[in-house]
Structure 1
Amino acid sequence: MADVLVSIVLERLASVLEQQIRQQVTLVVGVKSQVDNLKSTLQSIRAVLADAEKRQFSEELVKVWLERLKDISYQMDDVVDGWNTALLKLQIGSENPCIPKPKISSCLPSPCVCFKQVLLRCDIGIKIKDMRKQLDAIANERNQFNFVSSSTIQQPHRRITSSVIDVSQFCGRDADINIIIGKLLGGSSQESSSLYIVSIVGMGGIGKTTLAQLAYNHEKVMAYFHERMWVCVSDPFDPMRISRDILEALQKDSYGFHNLEATQQKIRTLIADKKFLLVLDDVWTENYELWEQVESSLKGGAPGSRILVTTRNENVSTMMGTTYKHPLGELSKEQCRSLFSNIAFYGRSREKVEELENIGWKIADKCRGLPLAAKVLGSLMRLKDNKEDWESILNNEIWQLDVIEKHLSTPLLLSYYDLSPAVKRCFSYCAVFPKDQIISKDRLIKLWMANSYLNSRESIETEKTGGDYFEDLVSRSLFQDFDRDDEGNIISCKMHDIVHDLAQYLTKNECFIVEIDDEKEVRMASSFQKARHATLISARRVGFPITIHNLKYLHTLFAARVVNLNTAQPPPNLFKHLVCLRALDLSGNVFFGELLRNLGKLIHLRYLNLSDNLILGGLPEAICDLYNLQTLIVSNCQDFLRLPQGMRKLINLRHLEWGGSRELMLPKGIGRLTSLRTLTGFPIIGDHFRRDACKIGELKNLNSLRGGLVISRIANVKDAEEAGKAELKNKKHLHHLELKDFGRLVSSAASKGVAEALQPHQNLKSLKISHYDAATKFPSWIAASSLAQLKKLEIMRCAQVTRLPPLGELPLLESLIIEDMKRVKYVGGEFLGSSTTAFPKLKLLTFYDMNKWEKWEIKEGRSVMPCLHFLSIFKCPKLESLPEHLLQITALQLEVGDSPTLHDRYNEETGKDWPKISRISRVRYYYG
């Protein structure tokens, strides 16, 4: 953690000096030598931080030294970021000399402004000199600890395992063991020559080794394999050591084999034409070259040979070419209680068990299904007979127990040590979230970015780096309980309680979760003063605690849903004190304007969430002074109508989210925000409403937009030339697009031209067109040549269209929804297009509210919708029949609603064509 903080400060120092040279501006005179000394000292300290961070868990003085280093690093970050912001302000001021400023009639700096700049320069210079003194003192103190540099630091001790297991202490996992044994014993004699590898993957302490031991010692496994070998791999991955261990397991002796070639030749000889089982326990390396050196000697066994791998890293499983991966989850509550009881109550009398059982079960529940925790706590309680001792353990936080810190922290800390410094910082930051909270991946990455934890190279998107860090934590089983989108991408997760405890343990005195009540007010005033990240929780929305201003060093403040109309508003000058904030979440509150106008004082702020606020008529102009702002979220603010005119100054803004609010007016100049990656909506306001609103042409330079975009009120676009200025064809990162509210333009020719000019990039994956009322045909770009990547298409409320376009030619289309096409009477060959196979990938097809549709024909002679498995027809009262070709798909699921003609025709009891659909797997009828 300290390593990352020091790295951030070094980067900022380099950046600010570079800006001064580039802009030929010297904000702080004569301070370069001070900065050079700071950089030199920080670099020398960073060289020993890996050793210091490992020793802090066993040496209290080292821990205190690190705390002081982190504190001064935070302070330096604040000062240098303020310096950087001042330079940025000068740059923006020179680029925007004529942005209207209230009550200022001249663009020249006033004497007051000049005086403030002089004061700022003096303040920065004084602070840097003071920080240099503190850092020199910290650097001198390190000598007493005899730290070793990162180049010579020893690897942390990793446990050694064997195949021996005490089955009496095992419970649960019956389903898991049956699956693993089935994979070990399954297969046929015609198996390929490649190795059959079974991987057990899960977090530290979840029971991977125990499961492998049970499988290894199962009587069926022992009888099936000619040779069995158990090797504890651990880290580092040494091909020679591993090969010698395999050889020793095969012939009980590896003496005389001192090189890899001879050792592996002997292994090949001993396993030739024999079915063998090799367990490789606790594999960490992702280096295929190292694995390849071992793998090559294992390919001479008989068909049916197996390799069983345990690892906490999914990437290891993939690298090794796993045939079957088994993710290992938590024990159930009952299994965890049983495991704890087997150890804790061993040898006790029935009376004693009855006295302690209820307390014991509550202690076991604290383990949250983690077998290692249950074993450690069971062993601890086995030595305690007194009921008061049991209650004391129950009432303690699990990570406050010495036995947990000693025995349970080791396997979890190994996962932590194996992370890169930047990913360590991202992991420990998660301590700011309450236990069991659903963590949005997108939000988490933006918060990491706001705190400068994502060290991305220029050629790589910062958000992409954050995604890589997230996937790294996922692969090492440090996140769980994933929610995924339709394409299988993770959108949210949780942390196991004990993993969360580890994160909190690592960020002690940095991250706090505070339940607001009168009792906590006193604690906040005293013990939280050096907090850097805090979450306020208020079950009854009692409002902000009056001592919140004491947390003046906060970088993150989550204060969602703590204020409503009936609670006291926070003091208007609140943000005068919390000036170090990088991330602020005030969602779900009710705020009045005076507080929000003071947000402009938060010059470091990069993430601001004001979503779900009911009383928010518009953001104050002060928001536009937040030059570092990267993310602004104002979603679901019902009274939100406009953004301030000075938004063009927010040149670092990357994400502007306002979905669910009343239609927002974007101000002129939004096109200058070329860093924008997210812009959820773009309403086009007509000149007759507001002349200061932005036009569609401002999309031209926003080519970094990605994700989804809704362009609405297209009827306010005058002609095709104006629409063409948006240059949607150049938005190659935009994958989801909605075009709505075309209305009736001046003429059908004009409306057709506007629609044609809004052609998107061919990378588009989903498209929705709605309220297309101005023309009888869709634009020509709705075709396979223009939308080759399209997977989802919705066409809704297009009142003038009489014929559907040739959508059957779209090669990757999987979902198609057609709704409220009031003039369409016939669907036939024009809908299928001319390709050999029409709708080759289509899985879901829905027609809804087609009140004039009468006929749907598919002519024989070619393949149509071979992948279709769901067909829905609703509110199509005049449709006479369904194509017989589709009714022959036995796996089809058919739903028909409020379509009486179809119901009468295919009714199971009286319908004359019931036999034609009787083979379909599922048919459902619905009535309005």
Structure 2
Amino acid sequence: MAMVLEFFVERFLLKITNFAAGEICKVLCVREEVETLERRLARIKGFLLTAEQRRHVDPATDTRVRELKDVMYDADDIIDLCIIEGGSLLKSRASTTFAVCNPSSSQSSSYFGSIKHRYEISGRIKRLNDRLKEITEDRSTIPDVENVKIDPPHRPERSPGTPSIEVKADIIGTQIEGAAQNLINSIVEISEKPKCVVFGIVGMGGIGKTTLARKVFNDERIIQNYPIRVWLCVTKKYSETDLLKEMIRSVGGNVEGAKSRAELERKLVSLLSKNLLLVLDDVWSPEVWEDFLKNPLMHEAASNCRIVITTRDENVARNLGDNVHHVEKMDEECGWELLWKTVWDNREKGDISRFKEIGTKMVQKCDGLPLAIKVLAGALRSRRSTMEWEKVLRSDLWKMKKLDENVLGVLFLSYEDLPSHLKQCFLHCSLFPDKADMYRKDLIRLWVAEGFTEENGELSMEEIAEGYYEDMIWRNLLQVDPTFVDGSRCTMHDLLRSLAQSLIQGEGVYVSDLQSLNSDPLTKLRRLSTSNIGERIQLPDRIVEEKCLRSLLIFDSPRARTIGDDLFKKLRNLRVLLLNDTSIESLPKSIGELSHL
């Protein structure tokens, strides 16, 4: 996950100010170097945000920002080390004083060893100051350009403990509503004679394919005609057995005892005693149906089924059948309707006609894509004047061209509209696997562990992080799973995930195969997320040798049973460890030596 410099420096300055004024700094004899570091960081605050934005269009600025982040990570590690080591010195202060008076004492070597350690820490801080001085003196690479960030919104405060997430039907435009009814009619009215019929929904990313499929999936007529309904998200690198297991569980079955594909197929067929509607969301290859699911669903013992697939590739849909529906871009009127419905929701609307001209111009910039319009609406929700809307319309961030080619400028604009703590949370979500369900409780724990929460005397860290979760939902950057009425499960659209990944810049990454991890000499990986690990958790030599990893997240690795003791001995800066869906029963003793964890 990429560090947001503005947030990190602000938080670090508070930490280092408190440290410089404390007893530990005095004991370690590093106050002079620490205060120098504090002054230099305070001087660069003014252009940090500008540099973060400019880095995406200027390679020289990007290099300097990477170097600054590297310094900040190292500085944070050193100050934490000072706090830990200094605390130990304070505890042993009385005994070391005795050792000075009695050189023959066995503790004298410990005393002189601590002096050597102080010099080492002081030297590391001095070298950091030298690096920071070299970077910041070259202002030509980080000039004081105009700050193009739109003003941060001021969202009305929520009462603590009052849930603000209301799970309800997704807001859709009349265009998608009409398309959904046509597709539902086709599915319900088609002859019962064909055992399986495939319907394709085709369109570019963000155009509303999943929204349309969800509307069909939850329709009352569909529920009446198809008692068994299953929704499967299909990733590019899907596992046949995992998809079969998920489908079996979705229809109320148990996968215990079935390991092979043939065993799972037989179990699935035995459960399909009633009509089935199956949605395969985001299909990239026709093989998922032709070579895999078609066999059990066409079995003579299975009931009739209707398959709805969503895909960006028309060839995939055509290969599966003739019932193909193309999702069209929204016209201006439908786009404006979707925008104002999402912005005002059920609140007092007032006179919205004065916003329509500006809003329609912004809808045009969204290229008729519902996702872009909804994310834009999330940034506009707290803006109650036409002047504020005009500022958004004129923002240079619409023109951002240097990001991933699949990322729209409006998505980057909405990201830049976030306060720095929410930027961190948004970027962190890209560490989850593609199409992963994210649970509120997991995100809250991770965000607190990562240090993203800003202290508030009235609320606990967990309550603050829960507010961040609600803000992300409110801004349409995370989508609540409608089957969870309490809003506790969500997903992130793959276009938003692509944006987050494009902003990571090598600091954090999710990889499904550790062997495919690319090496970037300009950065040191700080956060690593992966899945489908084998029996023993091992990391690439490059990661271990750098000794910079702060977070290690392991997902969906039921085969993983052991962790090498030497791994934690080398990853001394590890602060966050997540072992999700593994078979690990015990951790090596060396984990107790990780002082940051």
Q: 1:426 to 1:18 in 2, by over 3 A?
A: farther
> Is the contact between residue 448 and residue 461 of structure 2 (CA under 8 Å) also seen in structure 1?
yes
* Structure 1: distance between partners of 2:55 and 2:595: 34
1:531 aligns with 2:525: yes
1:281 aligns with 2:359: yes
C-alpha offsets along residues 242-289 of structure 1, whole Å, 9 cap, x if unaligned? 99x95xxxxxxxxxxxxxxxxxxxxxxxxxxxxxx95661799xxxxx
Aligned equivalent of 2:82: 83
Deviation at 1:572, TM superposition (A): 1.9
Give the alignment partner of residue 595 of structure 2, picking from 603, 620, 631.
603
Deviation at 1:414, TM superposition (A): 0.5
Deviation at 1:453, TM superposition (A): 1.7
Question: Pairwise mapping of residues 16-415 of structure 1 onto structure 2 (< 5 A)?
Answer: 16-20=19-23, 26-29=26-29, 31-89=30-88, 110-111=107-108, 113-148=110-145, 153-155=147-149, 173-175=176-178, 211=330, 213-215=332-334, 246=354, 278=356, 281=359, 312-313=376-377, 317=381, 405=404, 408-415=407-414
* Structure 1: distance between partners of 2:522 and 2:588: 25
* Structure 1: distance between partners of 2:526 and 2:81: 17
* Structure 1: distance between partners of 2:379 and 2:139: 37
Mind listing any 5+ residue stretches in structure 1 that lack a counterpart? 95-107, 158-169, 179-202, 219-229, 234-241, 247-276, 285-308, 322-400, 606-928
> Is the contact between residue 205 and residue 412 of structure 1 (CA under 8 Å) also seen in structure 2?
no
> Is the contact between residue 535 and residue 559 of structure 2 (CA under 8 Å) also seen in structure 1?
yes
State percent identity of aligned pairs. 22
* Structure 1: distance between partners of 2:179 and 2:357: 17
> Is the contact between residue 574 and residue 596 of structure 2 (CA under 8 Å) also seen in structure 1?
yes
Give the alignment partner of residue 573 of structure 1, picking from 542, 559, 566.
566
Deviation at 1:63, TM superposition (A): 1.1
SS at structure 2 position matched to 1:436: coil
Which amino acid in 2 is paired with 1:505?
Answer: S
Aligned equivalent of 1:2: 5
> Is the contact between residue 6 and residue 73 of structure 1 (CA under 8 Å) also seen in structure 2?
yes
Deviation at 1:25, TM superposition (A): 6.8
Q: 1:406 to 1:571 in 2, by over 3 A?
A: closer
Deviation at 1:559, TM superposition (A): 2.9
Q: 1:62 to 1:577 in 2, by over 3 A?
A: same
Q: Larger C-alpha radius of gyration, 1 or 2?
A: 1
Deviation at 1:476, TM superposition (A): 1.3
Q: 1:528 to 1:536 in 2, by over 3 A?
A: farther
> Is the contact between residue 549 and residue 578 of structure 1 (CA under 8 Å) also seen in structure 2?
yes
1:544 aligns with 2:538: yes
Give the alignment partner of residue 557 of structure 1, picking from 552, 558, 570.
552
Deviation at 1:483, TM superposition (A): 6.0
* Structure 2: distance between partners of 1:172 and 1:210: 9
SS at structure 2 position matched to 1:27: helix
* Structure 2: distance between partners of 1:146 and 1:525: 30
SS at structure 1 position matched to 2:538: coil
> Is the contact between residue 283 and residue 316 of structure 1 (CA under 8 Å) also seen in structure 2?
no
SS at structure 2 position matched to 1:57: coil
> Is the contact between residue 406 and residue 498 of structure 2 (CA under 8 Å) also seen in structure 1?
no
Question: Pairwise mapping of residues 657-696 of structure 1 onto structure 2 (< 5 A)?
Answer: none
> Is the contact between residue 568 and residue 594 of structure 2 (CA under 8 Å) also seen in structure 1?
yes
RMSD after superposition: 4.4
Deviation at 1:402, TM superposition (A): 7.3
Deviation at 1:588, TM superposition (A): 4.6
Aligned equivalent of 2:469: 470
Which amino acid in 2 is paired with 1:73?
Answer: M
* Structure 1: distance between partners of 2:496 and 2:413: 12
1:498 aligns with 2:495: yes
Which amino acid in 2 is paired with 1:579?
Answer: R
Deviation at 1:408, TM superposition (A): 3.6
SS at structure 2 position matched to 1:467: helix
> Is the contact between residue 544 and residue 570 of structure 1 (CA under 8 Å) also seen in structure 2?
yes
Aligned equivalent of 1:897: none
C-alpha offsets along residues 523-563 of structure 1, whole Å, 9 cap, x if unaligned? 56776971111013225546424625235111100135658
C-alpha offsets along residues 455-511 of structure 1, whole Å, 9 cap, x if unaligned? 2233332222212222222111111143676xx543221111111111111012111
* Structure 1: distance between partners of 2:552 and 2:476: 27
C-alpha offsets along residues 69-98 of structure 1, whole Å, 9 cap, x if unaligned? 11111111111111122344567889xxxx
If the length of structure 2 is used for normalisation, what is the TM-score?
A: 0.55
Deviation at 1:419, TM superposition (A): 0.4
* Structure 2: distance between partners of 1:310 and 1:562: 35
Structure with greater proportional helix content: 2
> Is the contact between residue 447 and residue 453 of structure 2 (CA under 8 Å) also seen in structure 1?
yes
> Is the contact between residue 516 and residue 542 of structure 1 (CA under 8 Å) also seen in structure 2?
no
Which amino acid in 1 is paired with 2:178?
Answer: A
* Structure 2: distance between partners of 1:176 and 1:75: 54
* Structure 2: distance between partners of 1:599 and 1:123: 25
* Structure 2: distance between partners of 1:491 and 1:52: 36
Aligned equivalent of 2:393: none
SS at structure 1 position matched to 2:26: coil
* Structure 2: distance between partners of 1:176 and 1:601: 59
Q: 1:171 to 1:59 in 2, by over 3 A?
A: farther
> Is the contact between residue 479 and residue 493 of structure 1 (CA under 8 Å) also seen in structure 2?
yes
Give the alignment partner of residue 583 of structure 1, picking from 568, 576, 584.
576
Q: 1:43 to 1:592 in 2, by over 3 A?
A: same
* Structure 2: distance between partners of 1:592 and 1:318: 48
Q: 1:113 to 1:585 in 2, by over 3 A?
A: farther
Deviation at 1:217, TM superposition (A): 10
Which amino acid in 1 is paired with 2:450?
Answer: N
Which amino acid in 2 is paired with 1:557?
Answer: L
* Structure 1: distance between partners of 2:106 and 2:558: 39
> Is the contact between residue 552 and residue 580 of structure 1 (CA under 8 Å) also seen in structure 2?
yes
> Is the contact between residue 375 and residue 476 of structure 2 (CA under 8 Å) also seen in structure 1?
no
* Structure 1: distance between partners of 2:108 and 2:496: 55
SS at structure 2 position matched to 1:559: strand
SS at structure 1 position matched to 2:481: strand
> Is the contact between residue 555 and residue 580 of structure 1 (CA under 8 Å) also seen in structure 2?
yes
Question: Pairwise mapping of residues 621-632 of structure 1 onto structure 2 (< 5 A)?
Answer: none
* Structure 2: distance between partners of 1:407 and 1:497: 10
SS at structure 2 position matched to 1:173: helix
* Structure 2: distance between partners of 1:216 and 1:526: 42
Q: 1:453 to 1:204 in 2, by over 3 A?
A: farther
Q: 1:319 to 1:68 in 2, by over 3 A?
A: closer
Which amino acid in 2 is paired with 1:538?
Answer: N
RCO greater where, 1 or 2, for CA within 8 Å and sep 6 or more?
2
> Is the contact between residue 555 and residue 581 of structure 2 (CA under 8 Å) also seen in structure 1?
yes
Mind listing any 5+ residue stretches in structure 2 that lack a counterpart? 94-104, 152-172, 182-204, 212-327, 344-350, 363-372, 386-399
* Structure 1: distance between partners of 2:578 and 2:17: 30
* Structure 1: distance between partners of 2:374 and 2:536: 49
Which amino acid in 2 is paired with 1:28?
Answer: L
* Structure 2: distance between partners of 1:283 and 1:416: 20
Q: 1:440 to 1:88 in 2, by over 3 A?
A: farther
Which amino acid in 1 is paired with 2:72?
Answer: S
Structure with greater proportional strand content: 1
> Is the contact between residue 48 and residue 147 of structure 1 (CA under 8 Å) also seen in structure 2?
yes
